[in-house]
Amino acid sequence: MKKLFITLVLWAVCTGPVYAHSDLESLPPAVAVMSYKHILYMNPDDLAMRNKLAMAYVRTNELQEAQKELAYVLKKDANNFDALDGYGVLLMKAGKHKDALQYLRKAASINGKDVMVYVHMSVAYDKLKDSDKARAALKKAQSLASPEELKKIEAERRFLYGN
């Protein structure tokens, strides 16, 4: 009972500002998973929250759970940029870099101005030993990035490389 109470208090504290700011990404991934699940309990068809939940699952290495969420989103909206990009990331974490590129390329065709999709493509190409395409994708990401996004690029690359 005490654990349930502590969990509820943490959830209330952590998700209170979430509804106003819609930003759980700064929370530890395990806390974000719990918070997104609570939000989805209230609105199960919120595709944006399902995408965020899926990426929190990826960050906690719960790849099967992430796959379920992303498949749900893509079934509802086959051209959902975030789900396509997220599925690419999921496949990279599973070591399926060639398959990942199919999703990442489709995502880039939908939103060619997103920095991270090019970061993701860069890592996938690098893992496939295609250094020219890896450099080109990274250069594209850097050319699109704001100063804040430039700082996030290296962190995302470390995550994808498992560092």
Residue ranges and CATH numbers for the domains of the chain are 27-78 (no CATH), 98-163 (1.25.40.10)
Helix locations, the chain, DSSP H: 2-15, 18-21, 29-42, 47-59, 63-76, 81-93, 97-110, 115-127, 131-144, 147-161
- What does the pLDDT read at residue 131? 97
φ, ψ (nearest 5 deg) of residue 66 = -60, -45
Length of the chain: 163
Over residues 106-129, the mean pLDDT reads 98
- What does the pLDDT read at residue 108? 98
Taking only the tens place, the pLDDT of each residue in 8-65 is: 444 444 444 333 324 566 778 788 888 889 888 999 999 999 999 999 999 999 999 9
- What does the pLDDT read at residue 29? 78
What is the sign of the dihedral through the CA atoms of 42, 43, 48 and 50?
positive
- What does the pLDDT read at residue 101? 98
Instruction: Express as a percent the part of the chain with pLDDT over 90.
Output: 73
pLDDT, greater one: 39 or 137? 137
Instruction: Express as a percent the part of the chain with pLDDT over 70.
Output: 83
Packed helices 131-144 and 147-161: angle between N→C axes, nearest 10 degrees: 150
- What does the pLDDT read at residue 24? 62
- What does the pLDDT read at residue 9? 42
Over residues 110-121, the mean pLDDT reads 97
pLDDT, greater one: 132 or 14? 132
